[in-house]
Amino acid sequence: MNFDFSDDQKMLKEQAHKFLSEKCTPKTVRAVYESGKTHDAALWKQIGELGWAGAAIPEEFGGLGLGYLELCVIVEELGRALAPVPFSSTVCQFAEALIVSGSSEQKSRLLPKVAAAEIIGTLARTEGPGAILPKNIRTTFKGGKLSGKKTAVGDGMDAHFAVVLARASDEPGERGLQLVLVDLSQPCVTRRAQESIDPSRARAELIFDNVTAEPLGKQGEAWSDLNRVLDRAAILMAFEQVGGADTCLQMARAYAMDRYAFGRPIASFQAIKHKLADMYVNTELARSNAYYGAWALSTGARELPLAAAAARISATQAFDYAAKESIQTHGGVGFTWEYDCHFYYKRARELSLALGAQRVWKDKLVTQLELSNAA
Amino acid sequence: MDFEDSPEEAKFRTEARAWLDANAKLKTTNTDAAELKETEDKTTLTAAKAWQAKKAEKGYARLTWPKDVGGLGGTPMQQVVFHQEEARYDVAPSGPFNIGLGMCIPTVMAYGSKDSIARYVKPSLRGDEIWCQLFSEPAGGSDVAALRTRAEKDGDDWVINGSKVWTTGAQFSDYGIVLTRTDPNAPKHKGLTMFYLSMKSPGVEVKPIKQASGASGFNEVFFTDVRIPDAQRLGEVGQGWQVALTTLMHERLAVGGGTGGMLDVPQLLQLARELELEDGPAIKNAAVREKMADWYVRSAGLKYTTYRTMTALSRGQQPGPEASIAKIVVAPKLQDLSAFAVELEGEAGALTGADALDDGAFQLAWLNAPGLRIAGGTDEILRNIIAERVLGLPPDIRVDKNVPFNKAPTGR
């Protein structure tokens, strides 16, 4: 039994932790919130120099070629520090879309730039509130031209490239869909900044008016490819969620130890102790599910879809619980702008929505259980 | 990251498998119906003793114990591997011996005389003698140090009066370790002393407790002028609490074992495939699917947490604090899941036994679940333990800690 990270991977995690403790404090996050900027460009550049964005990208495409386990430990630390950088959209989603569906030419052209954090990439799926269903995708891709509107696109104001879910033919349902790679610097792309829950992960509306674009992967495989990308991203971002949940627990613990009420630290009241114990239990369960996801991702195991859904649900629940109960533990100051709790509360919700709601993932999970017959 | 054995583990697994092949038969079905029911009748006990004796001959009864007391001097990971392998075979349960070998005998080995170690360890390993743990009382459950059973010195003997409760296995036990109050004028933790005694001693009376499910796994034990020699004292007079902590420290997480036979998501999935609800097959119902996913991620999270613990053991490290979360996850989940399953059955869910679906397995689990949330540490005490020992939060303020026990508030 060897179900843990190696000493080298733990060392990498420790290095990432040390770097971020210095370069990405809550003040860094606050500065992004209060400056009106969408992310911390200097931090993103340094992350590029460290090679983190290319940790799992093969060397032939300009990455470090370390592997997914290494990427997972880095993402956990980014989540712990609430790093205000477009890492998740670029590395966990856009790069994974290239890896899953891209031709070797497309990979050679773009992955080295992702690895160096020279470009920001994103995934554009959503066209409005409610479920994302093949029959409702109205963005079109015909004759090499993309037209339509996507909303709530992660890091949409900053992204250089997007992978867009579009309809390429009149064939019904999934069969008419196509993933499309588009350079967002073109003049026929209109962007509009949207207000969103977590301004350090700013979202935008993208309008395409007959924009030149290229197919990514095959028509008819877009829906299943997209789901594969989402599964892989879910595992990576589960680590981001676990990191965030852990910070909430530590913040709540520190506050409860310091804060006196009724003549004693509030950490000595069972109402608080049990809350923190539950945070711990949820976070450990989520961590273990994320580890299993990391194993599935790094080995390409056929259990990956089940592992991804479990990691995603577990980590979403853990971060959600920890973020809201951290505010509750802090009492009134917890929901002031001045305290940091709200950054985590917002990030937890942002991450729970980023790859689709829990409802969707729970349905996916049970579908996998039905298929696996293991259950 | 992988789930493979180390070369040493693989070697031991081969040895264990060869021995099991020679001494037992593989299970023919996956579901272990016996594990779902509380079968501690005479036949089961005889079979359990026979299998225990066989394992003891080979050192497998407690293979982490040193060879000179009948163990194998093995590693905790070898213990895990043996449990995993043993679980594949159709063998009698080791449940009746777990309390004795897991808690009582280690306490005897830590505090008993050479003579008592020589006398008691091997028979208990072989299953010839069964031990129980007599700590909890009507006035001392979660707060076990509030116990009132008295032991008074009379010459070279001690005379015990009082009663214990929730004593698992007392009805078939030969010996027990008993925590008593020897000084009611001392603060509650300081007036305790530990002894061992024969359950056949004159003045010991065992009465089974009928549980909500109708079964009787626990007992009340009454002591009326039970006389035992001072040689049966474990530890110093007044040091009983420290001795009890040693006992409880040995109550380690049963890595790799435990929840095997319990109802969980696979059984719920099976039920949902069979039942039809108002809007179609239960398995297609969104509420059913959502609940199933919630419970699955907790079960899976626990399973992989156990893998992390086993990894630490495999690397020769101490398991991390994550090992402490198991029961707090399992027990409430079993209660919620079984209640949900019974509700799915509609009015027919009211049936139990032979007329009920699956012989009433969900109904039985639901009836047993409240006990699981209480026995061996309530949900609330377990949360206190995680809060205090893992997260380092302050202990509760105790108003009875430094007062003489007989002056402490009792509410009656």
Residue type present at position A195: E
Name the band, by pLDDT with cuts 50, 70 and 90, for residue B310: confident
CATH number of the domain residue A144 falls in: 2.40.110.10
A301: containing domain:
223-372
Domain shared by A82 and A151, yes or no? no
* Domains of chain A: total: 3
For residue A295, the tally of other CB atoms under 10 A from its CB is 24
In a domain, A283, yes or no: yes
Contact A273 B294 (CB under 8 A): no
Q: Per-residue DSSP letters for B201-270?
A: STTEEEEEEPPTTS---EEEEEEEEEEEEGGGEES-TT-HHHHHHHHHHT----TT-SGGGS--HHHHHH
Tell me, yes or no, whether A2 lies in a domain.
no
Q: Are residues A129 and A94 in the same domain?
A: no
Closest residue in A to B305 (Cα) is A288
Phi/psi of residue B11, nearest 5 degrees: -65, -45
Q: In a 3-state reduction of DSSP, which class is residue B67?
A: helix
A126 and A114 share a domain? no
- Among the candidates A64, A93, A118, a domain finishes at A118
Note whether A228 and A363 are same-domain residues: yes
What pLDDT was estimated at residue B254?
44
A317 and A277 in one domain?
yes
What values do phi and psi take at B89, rounded to 5? Answer: -105, 155
- Assess whether A276 and A337 both reside in one domain: yes
**Is residue A1 a part of any domain in this protein?**
no
Q: Is residue A162 part of a domain?
A: yes
Among chain A residues, CA nearest to B325: A281
* CB spacing of A276 vs B391 below 8 angstroms: yes
Q: Give the pLDDT band of residue B259 (cuts 50, 70, 90).
A: very low
* pLDDT for residue B215 is more than 90: no
Residue ranges and CATH numbers for the domains of chain B are 7-93 (1.10.540), 131-249 (2.40.110.10), 259-377 (1.20.140.10)
A2-16, A106-120, B307-321: least confidently modelled range: B307-321
Q: Shortest CA distance to A120 belongs to which of A210, A204, A227?
A: A204
Place of tokens 């690397």: B315
CATH number of the domain where residue A27 is located: 1.10.540.10
pLDDT, tens only, A168-207:
998 889 999 999 999 999 999 999 999 999 999 999 999 9
Pair A326, A190 in one domain? no
Please provide the average confidence, as pLDDT, over all residues in chain B: 91
The pLDDT assigned to B30 comes to 55
Whole-number pLDDT of residue B256: 37
In a domain, A144, yes or no: yes
- Of the candidates A118, A135, A156, which is a domain's last residue? A118
Amino acid at A12: L
Instruction: Indicate if A25 and A109 belong to the same structural domain.
Output: yes
Same domain, A234 and A344: yes
In a domain, A54, yes or no: yes
Cβ separation of B290 and A359 shorter than 8 Å?
yes
Chosen from B1, B6, B13 to mutate, greatest number of chain A CBs within 10 A: B1
Query: If you write DSSP's letter for every residue of B339-363 in order, what string do you get?
Result: HHHHHHTGGGGG--GGGSGGGGHHH
The answer to whether residue B251 is catalytic is yes
Instruction: Tell me the C-alpha distance between A21 and A14, whole Å.
Output: 10
Beta partners for residue A149, in sequence order: A207
pLDDT digits over A60-86, tens only? 999 999 999 999 999 999 999 999 999
Nearest-CB residue to A280 (from B294, B303, B390): B390
* Inter-chain Cβ pairs, chain A and chain B, closer than 8 A: 166
Neighbouring C-beta atoms of residue A127, cutoff 10 Å: 17
Strands A203-212 and A189-194: antiparallel
**Residue A255: its chain B contacts at CB < 8 A?**
none
Instruction: Measure in Å the smallest separation between the Cα of B40 and chain A Cα atoms.
Output: 29
In the prediction, which pLDDT does B251 show? Answer: 61
Instruction: Sort out which chain A residues have CB atoms less than 8 A from B322's CB and list them.
Output: 284, 287-288
Residue-wise burial string across B13-47, b where 16 or more C-beta atoms lie within 10 A, e elsewhere: beebbebbeeebeeeeeeeeeeebebbbeeebbee
DSSP state of A269: S
**How many CA atoms lie within 13 Å of B22's alpha carbon, on the beta-carbon side?**
9
With an 8 Å Cβ cutoff, are A370 and B283 in contact?
yes
Contact A291 B308 (CB under 8 A): yes
* Yes or no, beta carbons of B387 and A295 under 8 Å apart: no
pTM: 0.94
Q: Is the pLDDT of residue A328 over 90?
A: yes
Pick from A25-34, A55-64, A298-307, B392-401: least confident: B392-401
Name the minimum distance, in Å, from the CA of A146 to any CA of chain B: 36
Contacts of B269 in chain A (CB under 8 A): 366, 369-370, 375
**A residues 227-266 closer than 8 Å to B (CB):** 249, 253, 256-257, 264-265
Q: CATH no. for residue A340?
A: 1.20.140.10
Claim to verify: residue A318 and residue A277 sit in the same structural domain: yes
Confidence class for position B41, pLDDT limits 50, 70, 90 = low
Quick one: pLDDT band at residue B313, thresholds 50, 70, 90? confident
> Would A325 be classed as within a structural domain?
yes
| Pair of tokens at residue A166 | 């579009």
Q: What is the ipTM metric for this complex?
A: 0.96
* Rounded mean pLDDT, B103-126: 95
Element (H, E) at A222: helix A222-258
Helix, strand, coil distribution of chain A in percent, nearest 5: 60, 15, 25
- List Cβ neighbours of B173 (8 Å cut-off, separation of 6 or more): B100, B130, B131, B132, B199
The answer to whether the CB of A69 falls within 8 A of the CB of A235 is: no
Residue among A289, A366, A375 minimizing CB distance to B301: A289
How far is the C-alpha of A276 from the C-alpha of A12, rounded, in Å? 28
Give A150-170 pLDDT, tens digit per residue. Answer: 999 999 999 999 999 999 998
Confirm whether A140 is domain-assigned: yes
CA of B260, closest CA in chain A: separation in Å? 14
Q: Which residues of A touch B392 (CB under 8 A)?
A: 253
Sequence-distant (6+) residues with CB within 8 A of B192 are B145, B147, B179, B180, B181, B182, B238, B239, B240, B241, B244
Contact A209, A235 (CB under 8 A): no
Count CA atoms closer than 13 A to A272's CA, side-chain side. Answer: 30
Task: Give yes or no: residues A210 and A153 share one domain.
Answer: yes
Across the interface, do B383 and A1 touch by the CB < 8 Å criterion? no
* Residues 280-309 in A contacting B (C-alpha not used; CB under 8 Å): 280-281, 284-289, 291-292, 294-295, 298-299, 309
Nearest by CB to A289, from B286, B304, B380: name it: B304
In chain A, what residues touch B393 (CB-CB under 8 Å)? Answer: 253, 256-257, 267-268, 272-273, 276
Give the pair of three-digit tokens for residue A25: 């404090």
Domain's final residue, options A100, A118, A136? A118
How far is CA A239 from its chain centroid? Answer: 9
Residue in chain A closest to B77 (alpha carbons) equals A1
B399 contact partners, CB below 8 Å, separation of at least 6? B408, B409
Q: For residue B329, what pLDDT band results from cuts at 50, 70 and 90?
A: very high
Reduced to 3 states (helix: H, G, I; strand: E, B; else coil), residue A193 is: strand
CB B221 within 8 A of CB B205: yes
In our burial notation (b when 16+ CB lie closer than 10 A, e otherwise), range B219-241 reads bbbbbeebebeeebbbbebebbb
Catalytic position from the list B9, B35, B251, B322: B251
Interchain proximity A288–B294, CB inside 8 Å: no
Residues of A in contact with B307 (CB under 8 A): 1, 3, 288
Question: At residue B272, does pLDDT exceed 50?
Answer: yes
> Cα angle at A12 between A9 and A16, to 5 degrees?
140
> Do both A43 and A108 map to the same domain?
yes
